[in-house]
Structure 1
Amino acid sequence: MDPHLQFEEKNDNIHTQIFDLLLKMDIDGNPAPNLAKSWTRLNERTVQFKLRTGVTFHNGEACDARAVKFSIERNISSKTNSPSYHVLSSIERVDVIDSYTFNIVTKHPDGILLNRLCVAGYVVPPGYIRNVGNTGFEKHPIGTGPFRFSKWIRGSELVLERSAAYWGSPPDVGRIVFSFADSRRRVDLLLNGKVDMITDFDPQSISSIEENGFKTIKEPSFSAVTINFNLIKKGSPFQSKKVRKAFNHAVNMDELIAKVKMGYGIRRATLGVPGEFGYNPYIKPYSYNPERAIELLRQAGYEKGLTVSLLVDDTFGGASNPVALELKRQLTKVGVNLVVKGGNGAMLLVESRRKANAPPFQADLFMRTCPDAMAHIIFREGIVVYDSKSPWSLVNCPNLDRLLSKIIHTIDPGKQQKLCYELERMVHEECLSLFAYQEIKLYAMPYSINYEPHVTGMLNLSEAKVIGD
């Protein structure tokens, strides 16, 4: 439960109830005040922030500029080994000006600093952590968020209580119990009255849920399914652009969305989605053309077909994921034998990139969902997936790295937008992924709960309202 030691959507949905970020995304996907109430760019490398006054952590400790300095330095320290280090890696230092004023100085001009702070700018209590240590903090987290930690039964449930000292509008909900269950069991828990809200369930359950008197919400989000080719594996067939292009022509993604997702997905030409800064609306998806796919495979030396492995992250259903099984069925038609496996792919990938003597990442493709809490095209297509320095990257493309660096160094939004369009074109033309679809997030709950999903897809349960008793 330490926000500096975890970087997964399911964990962040809990973190954002207990902790606050320096900035947050507004309803339109723009950086907005949160713990930091205002900011001013002093020069190309320095931004000055003003904190809200009077904010305290759940234990009464002051949330001030020193806490911000401690939090950011803790996150980017090599001793912490934070999985979100890469998100804040442009920060050189934090200078405390007074109790509620601080400057963030970056190593170079950073045009996405504010977006970074919306993702990884969690503020934690320095005094409490020095007292109980990192292990104690992980077991009993303390933040400034709308809910405070109460109880955690690992693998079963996590209980949070409304914080009476919360600096913002008090939540309508007094208690949150997170129950941990797979997508099928979630539906049973809802129908049997064991939980009040579920997300990310099988769309084939929608009719059953609605027939039992519950409402469902279907909302396009900044989350996308990523199916990434392993371009750094020695001897990988995907080092050939013709093979990557063949796979994009071989899959009927519209059919997959209709059949497996019951239409609750929107096909995309890259990893970008509308609403993200830098999204290029002029790029069209690859056409479904199995004959062209077979010809491209022949040209690449695979006229007799090939066998490749797909690792599906356990957070996305593992080896039994129906999207993966449909991919396997479709690819068979062009002579591809797709071997589907499950596992903690994100952990295996990070360890292969960052741990000495760790085995290389062996899967030929890696599939998972990837939200964009940064609301900027560079999050998925740069910081997470394609930047060769990213711990989650399976790509090593110097031209792309140079373009990513140029985007980050560009402070002017208009110029940055044009460069992002160029990035989207490069990603598409190089076929760096098997491009799939934008997720339509699914939510189900009783009609007595009023909840409006956020565009990023992250849960903001402090905004949920309970109607009547």
Structure 2
Amino acid sequence: MTEETGGKVTLMNAVWATELFTPRDGVGETATYGRQMHAFWINGNENLEMVPGVLTDWSVSDDGLSWDLTLRDGITFHNGDALTINDAMFTMEFTFGPEAVTESISPSVQAEAAETASIEATGPNTLRVTHTSPKAFFPFFISDLSFGIAGVLLPKTYFESLGQTGYNEAPIGAGPFRLDKHVISEQILLERYEDYFDPERGPSFQTLDMRLVPEVATRVAALRAGDADVIEANLAVKDQVEDGGGRMIWSQESSYIWILLPGCWEEQFPCHKKGVRQALDYAIDKDLIINSLYGPEAAVAKGWNWATPNALGYSEDLDPVPLDVEKAQQLLADAGYPDGEGFGTLEIHTWKAGDVPFLPEQAQLIADMWEKNLGIDVEVIVGEAATVRERWFDRQLDGKVIVRANETRWDGGSITNAIYGNPEGGAHLGGRRDDLIAIAKDALTVVDPALRQEAFNQAYKLLREERYEFGTGYVNLPWGVGPRIAEWEPWPVVAYQTAIWTMKLN
């Protein structure tokens, strides 16, 4: 904890998602507040390295199936209760036990739970998690480098006294801030927890006042008026932020633009044919989209979805394919839809995202390109993030297209498992094909750190070729920062606000 520990920071996000606080209830955007309130099994740092958090040590068995975890002493929850092996066992069972397969809303948590064979206490401060197949990504998945809040610790006695609903209404954690007030869809007010176990990551100010403000114009107006200190911004408002006395701070490589084609294993859909999926990809001018909507400072047409340039498994030959209208038209004609004849209307579903501005505008540009270059009728439907996700997982968007933002991550093992390795999961995209399941599983079984880059790279190349998903590139998230913020160093390749303890006030 620093000596200067007074003051308040008001931070405005565009999306919070569920506004719930348990690992089963978490999606990517829950990290906005979850990282502040909760302690994680494993911490990360600015170099994308995993370092001790609640765990002081973690090691894997020779066969790659079992992870042995050692708890730190001296951690307390916000109500003063000590964090013990009972809390650790309860949390691990709640997050990855059998019930999580159906009760978690996160496809990645569902997939991990489905392949968790056992969870056992092996000593007064040690436990062992065993999987049905090697999971080299497991430590990363339960760290604060990962998306969402799959790696947070829960207080067993307190949780069981309230139940899951009651806990979500009055949550406590063991993180650097405790919850003081929660107004749904409006405010999450957090106060510094004086007994936080990691003083070096303790905040230098007393209060973090988080506000949910979907419209960027309203956020900018609040920043200029001094009613906000940090806002999710975009490049289009850079001049307004700076003219009002603020500046821009960038979270580098924080999110990617994801184009998904769910349910394409069903033969009645045109996307069942690989040539159709490839045609849709080749008909998009990614550079035009990036340059017209974002500019090179804010976005880059590189990477294959979560395999961005600083992620495990990346190589330049995974970058988005360039526009090739002639090739796209030939692929579509060979698939039986010359000039779009007989294709029908293709729906694109999207939403307004805080981490990737102009998502609906991007979806419309893609629709215009498909209509112009392929002759396909396209309709863009803008909805709410939670609703679109729910419809996707319930298979209501099969045969359609989703254009969405998603969080970058250094280790894409958990999402690879959910998207390709778990054919019965709601998020599965890989055609329910045994060959693609095997490709994903083979990469995930590689535990040796020296071999994982090559294993993931080869798997990503093969999966990318099938075009069940593709993208236009990644974005650097700009934060508008007011004059009260002297410094802040958010992490790269991790979405939303990170490293709050580096934020210092003037």
Moved more, 378-387 or 10-19: 378-387
TM-score, length basis structure 2: 0.85
Partner in structure 2 of residue 451 of structure 1: 488
In the TM superposition, residue 7 of structure 1 has moved relative to its aligned partner by 2.7
Partner in structure 2 of residue 172 of structure 1: 204
TM-score, length basis structure 1: 0.91
In the TM superposition, residue 279 of structure 1 has moved relative to its aligned partner by 1.7
In the TM superposition, residue 14 of structure 1 has moved relative to its aligned partner by 0.6
Partner in structure 1 of residue 360 of structure 2: 321
Any residues of structure 2 matched to 1:67-466 within 5 Å, and which? 67-79=87-99, 81-84=103-106, 85-86=109-110, 88-89=112-113, 90-118=115-143, 119=146, 120-169=150-199, 170-184=202-216, 185-199=218-232, 201-230=233-262, 231-233=264-266, 235-263=268-296, 264-271=298-305, 272-305=307-340, 306=343, 307-315=345-353, 321-334=360-373, 335-344=375-384, 347-350=387-390, 353=393, 360-362=396-398, 364-373=400-409, 375-384=410-419, 387-396=422-431, 397-449=433-485, 450-455=487-492, 456-460=494-498, 462-466=500-504
Candidates 14, 20, 29, aligned match of 2:33: 14
In the TM superposition, residue 262 of structure 1 has moved relative to its aligned partner by 2.8
Partner in structure 1 of residue 83 of structure 2: 63
In the TM superposition, residue 464 of structure 1 has moved relative to its aligned partner by 3.7
In the TM superposition, residue 293 of structure 1 has moved relative to its aligned partner by 1.6
In the TM superposition, residue 351 of structure 1 has moved relative to its aligned partner by 6.0
Unaligned runs of 5+ in 2: 1-19
Unaligned runs of 5+ in 1: none
For 1:282, what is the secondary structure of its paired residue? helix
In the TM superposition, residue 187 of structure 1 has moved relative to its aligned partner by 1.8
Deviation track 1:412-443 (CA, whole Å, cap 9, x = no partner) reads 22333222111121123222223211111111
C-alpha distance in 2 between matches for 1:377 and 1:41: 19
- Alignment CA distance shift 1:385-1:401 (3 Å): closer
- Alignment CA distance shift 1:320-1:348 (3 Å): closer
- Alignment CA distance shift 1:68-1:131 (3 Å): same
Letter in 1 for 2:142: L
Letter in 2 for 1:106: H
Moved more, 155-164 or 297-306: 297-306
- Alignment CA distance shift 1:5-1:136 (3 Å): same
Moved more, 457-466 or 342-351: 342-351
Deviation track 1:118-148 (CA, whole Å, cap 9, x = no partner) reads 2422110000011112111100111000000
In the TM superposition, residue 69 of structure 1 has moved relative to its aligned partner by 0.8
For 2:80, what is the secondary structure of its paired residue? coil
C-alpha distance in 2 between matches for 1:282 and 1:232: 26
- Alignment CA distance shift 1:180-1:345 (3 Å): closer
For 2:427, what is the secondary structure of its paired residue? coil
Moved more, 417-426 or 360-369: 360-369
- Alignment CA distance shift 1:158-1:346 (3 Å): closer
C-alpha distance in 2 between matches for 1:318 and 1:238: 28
C-alpha distance in 2 between matches for 1:111 and 1:262: 36
C-alpha distance in 1 between matches for 2:472 and 2:49: 25
On the 8 A contact 1:92/1:105 being kept in 2, the answer is: yes
Partner in structure 1 of residue 6 of structure 2: none
- Alignment CA distance shift 1:147-1:384 (3 Å): farther
Count of aligned pairs: 462
Displaced runs of 4 or more, over 6 A: 316-320
Partner in structure 1 of residue 16 of structure 2: none
Identity %: 19
On the 8 A contact 1:294/1:303 being kept in 2, the answer is: yes
In the TM superposition, residue 318 of structure 1 has moved relative to its aligned partner by 11
1:27 matched to 2:49? The reply is no
C-alpha distance in 2 between matches for 1:387 and 1:281: 27
Deviation track 1:169-223 (CA, whole Å, cap 9, x = no partner) reads 2311211111111142222222222211012x33211121112210102332242
On the 8 A contact 1:311/1:367 being kept in 2, the answer is: yes
